[in-house]
Structures are given as structure tokens and as C-alpha cells.
Chains A and B, each alone.
Chain A
Amino acid sequence: MRFYEYESKQILRDAGMPLPKSHFCTTDAEAEQAAADIRGPVVIKSQVLSGGRMKAGGVKFADTPQEARGLAEEILRLRINDLLPVGVLVEEKQDIAQEYYAAVTWDGRAKKPVIIFSDMGGIDIEEVAESHPEHLSRTHFSALRPFSDYIAKQAVADVGVTGNDLNALTRIVAGLARIFIERDMTLAEINPIGKLADGRIIALDCHMDMEQEAQRAHADLLNALGLSADDKRQARPPTQFELDAEHLDGSDPRGVAGNLTEFDGDLGLIIGAGGGSLTLFDAVRAAGGRPANYCEIGGNPSVNKTRNLTKLILSRPNVKKIAVMMNVVSNTRVDIVARGVVKGCIEAGFDPAEKITIFRIPGSWEEEGFAILEKYGIPYVDRSVSMDEAARLAVQNMDK
């Protein structure tokens, strides 16, 4: 679950972190009112999940409520990386003397959470890591022991910060680390943390991502933000087609036939499982094919589930044909998948022999599966044909 800035800031606020005054607004009139409440210059920030808001014109400054209204109206209509904002954040403008960066994330190599801290905030942290490594610290900590503040202090001190700033920053970084670990985040980032002209240190922009698998344990936080524990929000909000697929997958517990991502090509893909789908999607593109979707089937989905996924994919007008491909399967059954796709094709009003460019799922119960494919005249290949070759055949048969 990727949170919008205003949601991330609410999480920080609830944890007692210092933040500028701000209001989340969905209309220009609300933005005008918010600016009037703040009584002073404001910044208006587009609430989109995409990065690069500043460059795209999604962050603007206003001196008066009327100006704020006009800018909010503009930003609410501005698409950034093809996404419309869900609203704007109207926030008290700050006089910033120095910017810091703090993030907590997982390091799969160390198998521990890591605090990344820098006294060069506000810019691309990968760039800081490359060109100014002495301005960046990485501090791992145990997920097993309760978090100790000294770890945050170490992270801040390691880039040379001392005095009052060290103590103020330690409080913020320790708070962030606790939110990260207690709330099962995969990323908790404040960039920048601003030191103001008057010496106060506050969080200016924030980005958090909660692990999907742990959402159920944090229904309280999600509900308080107006979200549900079952919501999935990635780098972009899901399309209707993706939501439909998710609904189908969720309505039947037997196996997986979903994790669908929409693309704009003409070849519908029924592929699996996790790694197989990644491999096959690349293979189709390498063969010159244009996929209409990514998806994953696995864990032996029911006939009904595969049938519904097939019908959903075929319901899109841009889909000319479909390809059904997987790696050599262990627990998913070839015959059960074959029944599902054949049934889906026929119920959608198509001849599976014409609609399916290739079927390549070798493995468990393949004799039964191949018998079904033969009965319906569907082109298929066995395990002696590689996934790459199958993808090539899928693309080649598009014009048949």
C-alpha cells in the first residue's frame, strides 16, 4: 500500500512528529479556505503517487488565498505521468535553512532494516550515494530487539551532525524507525527534513509504503485514513480491468488466477506462475508481440476461476487472440487449466482453436490436458519446446 503524502504525514502526525500546518483539499474552494486558515504564504502540492511532482509543475507557491485557489484549480487538472491527483495538499510555506534526508527500508542482503541518513536532503539520494558518499550513512538495526534511540543517533552523527540538531534529528529518525517497524512498512522516507530559519527541525515531505501481506494487522491505521485492509495501491492506482480481475480472483479461494496488469497490446496472456509470467512476458515482447496484459496463474486454480479470467481478458476489444503458457508445472494441473481456458473461450463466443495462438503448459496431468487440447483443435507444444520458442509461436500465430 503506497500512501499519498497527506496520508504519510497523518501517520507522522499521529506519532507526534513535528510538521508544517497543512490541509488536504479536493476542490479549489477548499484550497482557498485552507490558505485563509493558514494565514500566510502556502505551498500547494499535487497528491499523486508519481515522483517528480516539482518538475512536472505539481508544486506551486501562493501568497494569498485567491492565488492558492487558482493554482489549486490548475494542479487538480494536471496529469503527472498520466495520473490525475486525488487532491492537493495546502501547506504553510517554510523558510528553510538546511535540508536532511532520512529513510528506513529493508536490506535483503543484511536481512535487516536499514536507516539511510544524509545531510544533503531534497535531492536524489542515489546521486548523493554516488557522488558524496561521506554525506550518507547506512545503519542497520535488529528486527528482533526493541528499537533503541542510540541507533538513530548513530545514523545522524555518522554524517557529522552534532549539537541541538543531532538531538532533534535523532527524535525524528527514531520516530520514523519505530513507525517503520511497528507498522510493517517497506519504506518510510522523509525527504526533506527541513531545518527552518528559526532553528526548528520539521518533516517537509514524506513517503510511506506498507507491506501488502501485513495490511490486515494494521486495519486500525488504514481505516483511520479512510482505506481498507484489502486495498492495493502501487505506483499507479489500478484500472477497472485490473480491479475486475482482482475481484474474480478474490471471489474463489482455489489457487491464483489474477495479479493482472493492463497493457495496450493485442495479445491476451494467460501465463504463470510468478517467475514463469515474468519470463514469458519478456519472451513475448522479445518475439515482437504486444501483450494486452500481464497476469499470473498458479497454485492450481479452479476451472471456474481460469474460465472467468479468460472471459475477462477476451472481453477487451483490443484483444485479438490469447496465449496460454506456463513453466513446467508441479501443483497446477495442465488439464484443469485447459478446461478453464476452453470453457472461457467458448462461453465468450469464440472457437478456442482460432482464439488460442498457443498452449504451452507441460507437467502435472499433461496427458489429460493434451487430450482436451486435441479434442478442441488447439495448437499446443510440450516440454521439449522452450518458453522462448512457445512465445515466438504465440506471436507468429497471431496472423493465422
Chain B
Amino acid sequence: MAMFIRVDIDPSVQEDMQLCQRLVEVCPVDIFETVGESNVATVEENLDECTLCDLCVNEAPGRVHVVKLYREG
């Protein structure tokens, strides 16, 4: 289970097949994977490896959020 990082993907991302693919490619620690033909999902076991590089956030500004769970509450 991821303890430190959660990645929220806006549902609108799922409609953009190319964007989904780019998210998979851009992440240096394989947090994203394609599911089925177009949809993208996060890989639970890789979430905590997130380096906070923001490459995914830059690909989809405002639609992908990296949440630092240790900064919450």
C-alpha cells in the first residue's frame, strides 16, 4: 500500500488516448500504466517511488495531481 503519495487523475484525461500514453512514458518510476485500449491507471506498488519530478503534472496541467499524503492532516 502506498503511504506517502497519491496521484489523482481527472476523468477527462481518460478520453485523451495520446495523453494517457504520454503519462506512461514520461514517469521515471512507472507510476502509470495503460488499462485496456486507452485508459490510464496508477500502479499501487510504484506510487511511493514518486520523485516529485512533476513531469506528469506538466503533461496534464490541472488534471493530474500528485498528493503528498504526509503533508495532509
Write the residues of chain A forming the contact surface with B, with a CB cutoff of 8 angstroms: 302-304, 333, 335-336, 339, 342-343, 346, 365, 368, 371-372, 375-376
Contact assessment for A372 and B51 in the assembled complex, using a CB-CB cutoff below 8 Å = no
Q: Are A303 and B70 in contact (CB under 8 A)?
A: no
From DSSP, what is the main secondary structure of chain A's interface residues? helix
| A371 & B70 in contact (Cβ 8 Å cutoff) | yes
Q: List 20 A-B contacts (CB under 8 A).
A: A302-B29, A303-B48, A303-B49, A304-B49, A333-B51, A335-B52, A336-B51, A339-B4, A342-B3, A343-B3, A343-B4, A343-B48, A365-B52, A371-B68, A371-B70, A372-B4, A372-B70, A375-B70, A375-B71, A376-B70
Which residues of B are at the interface with A, using a C-beta cutoff of 8 A? Answer: 3-4, 29, 45, 48-49, 51-52, 68, 70-71
Report Cα–Cα, A365/B45, bound state, in Å: 22
In the complex, A375 Cα to B71 Cα: how many Å? 8
Chain A residues whose CB sits within 8 angstroms of the CB of B51 once the complex forms: 333, 336
Give A116 to B54 CA distance when docked, in angstroms: 58
**Distance A303 CA – B47 CA, assembled complex (angstroms):** 10
Residues of B within 8 A of A371 (CB): 68, 70-71
Q: Which of A303, A339, A372 has the most CB of B within 10 A?
A: A303
Which of A336, A339, A365, A368 interacts with B3 by CB under 8 Å? A339
Chain B: minimal CB distance from A333 (Å):
8
A372 to B71: give the CA distance in the assembly, Å: 8
Q: A346-B3, A372-B4 are contacts. A339–B71 as well, Cβ < 8 Å?
A: no
Q: Whole-angstrom distance from the CB of B48 to the nearest CB of chain A?
A: 5
Question: Looking across the interface, which residue of chain A has its beta carbon closest to that of B48?
Answer: A303
Give Cα distance in the complex from A303 to B45, angstroms: 10
Q: Which residues of A contact B29 (CB under 8 A)?
A: 302
